[in-house]
Amino acid sequence: MYLTEADVGLVRCPRCLGGLRFDGPVERGALGRGTLACVACGHRWPVRDGLPHLVEDARVVGSDRFLRPIYDLIAPFHDAAVEIVLPLVQFPDAGATRDRYIARLELDGLASRDGRPLRILEVGVGGGANLSLIEAALPPDLDVELWGVDLSLGMIRQCRRRLAWFPTRNRVRLMLADAHMLPFGPATFDRVFHVGGINGYRDVVRGLAEMARVARGGTPIVVVDEALDPGRAHGFLHWLAFRAITFWDDDPRAPVDEVPVGARDVAVTPVSRFYYCLRFRMPDGTGAAEPPPRAPVAARAATRGKQIMPKVTDILTPVELAQVVSDYDVDVMDGILAGTLPAEYPPSKGWIQAISDAFYGPLPDDTDPPPREQLSLRDRERCTIALLATTSLEFELALHVYVALANEVTPGEIAHILMLAGIYGGIERFASGLDVEIGVLSTLKKILDPNGTGTITGTADPVTVVGRLRARYDG
């Protein structure tokens, strides 16, 4: 999982694709702490703990800037979510999804050539869950290198922890890199694949073009991500779960229209209830020199399927969310939690006391630099939501979803917290928790816009909101 001096010859500067030179110590054949200097443009890329950092933070923009810290945060739990929660809601696909898309790589057709190692690249390697499956599917006695790149440092670290137990870890190479600027020359890899993130790319066209560019001619390029299987009926729980895992994507589908010009053998097949597999090949392995323009917005919109479940990020507009924040009075809310609510709603006494015991004293502002001795208010609400999501306390959860929204925790982040809580609390808790969030957002919508005219005419003050939530969940 560490690059060697020989590997440096395969790596290119993401800025200009110039060759790189390593400046620093080499420890037992592997790169130590140093820099990779571009011999063409002169840019220097750091190597820390043997890991090349080939990403410029200033160029990570759009959805990638939003999703990157989320993946850093959930890295320790991501594999559990994929391996435990998703198979439950996708039944009877448990255990079959990965076998199906690994088969699309045609690994049994690999054969040694040119006296060099065969090379397989996973773009978005994540926690490394696919590496053992690749190993198992390879023909025996092949000299193969497994290369993995990811934009999330948290995911790369999780992958390294997994590889500590990997018997053939010495043939794995990991790098921090951006899928839109892959640090390799043309036709470097014998197989290229990506699983689980392209629907959130800031530029899908560029991402696919980069995969095509670094693949050898004729090799299968395999891309897997979320899309509901159009050939199946989907129940309420399926819609809830699918909306939670795709909250950042307005159009979760296979990007067939975005494959590079000249691609052949383009095919899309469902590999489970929630995932598609897109496969294509490039005749010369170079992809498109410049990605083709995106399809017009109207044409792309026409490909969307009907959305049955409301999406949490679509219920309240940004203007309405800003109004919820503006209408929120922390002193009034503190009075409700400390006095009014326990007096009028005795069941709340226990959980209010428990939260007070866990999160007490003055809370620092979220802008205060770490280290902080206590949780910030937003962090407290994030933790409280995660805890309440593993219980059946719907009104209490609804109340803290509202407090979190009023303190600028986004609906999408709340949905993701609920999904992670479902890993431990059970899938039915996840479904009910997401249903509560949808209920809170819908309640706020009706308070702000009671006539459905699209104009804010109401006030979402704590007294009004808490009263409506009590009527909804304790009526």
Q: How would DSSP label each residue in 173-211?
A: EEEEE-GGG-SB-TT-BSEEEEES-GGG-S-HHHHHHHH
Range name among 78-92, 210-224, 231-245, 329-343 with the lowest pLDDT average:
78-92
**What is the average pLDDT across 243-272?**
85
Domain boundary assignment for the chain: 7-54, 62-302, 312-473
CATH number assigned to the domain with residue range 7-54, chosen from the 4 options 2.20.70, 3.40.50, 2.40.160, 3.40.470: 2.20.70
- pLDDT score recorded for residue 359: 62
Residue type, 341: L
Its CATH architecture, for the domain 312-473, is: Up-down Bundle (1.20)
- Res. 285: pLDDT tops 50: no
Please answer whether residues 180 and 203 qualify as being in contact, where contact means their C-beta atoms are separated by less than 8 angstroms.
yes
Domain pair 7-54 / 62-302, same fold: no
- pLDDT score recorded for residue 267: 95
Range name among 22-26, 309-313, 350-354, 391-395 with the lowest pLDDT average:
309-313
Q: Which residues are CB-neighbours of 432 under 8 A, at least 6 positions away?
A: 392, 394
Burial class (CB in 10 A: 0-12, 13-18, 19+), 75: buried
Band of pLDDT at residue 293, cut at 50, 70 and 90: very low
Is 62-302 a CATH 3.40.50.150 domain? Answer: yes
**What is the average pLDDT across 276-304?**
55
Query: In degrees to the nearest 10, what's the CA dihedral of 66, 72, 77, 82?
Result: 50
Please answer whether residues 191 and 120 qualify as being in contact, where contact means their C-beta atoms are separated by less than 8 angstroms.
yes
Band of pLDDT at residue 295, cut at 50, 70 and 90: very low
Residue type, 112: S
pTM, entire model: 0.65
Please answer whether residues 55 and 177 qualify as being in contact, where contact means their C-beta atoms are separated by less than 8 angstroms.
yes
Instruction: Indicate the average pLDDT of the chain.
Output: 82
The CA distances from residue 13 to 25, 118, 189, 192, 286, in Å, are 20, 22, 17, 19, 17
Orientation of helix 427-448 relative to helix 462-473, angle to 10°:
130
Band of pLDDT at residue 144, cut at 50, 70 and 90: very high
- Res. 164: pLDDT tops 70: yes
378 versus 289: the higher-pLDDT residue is: 378
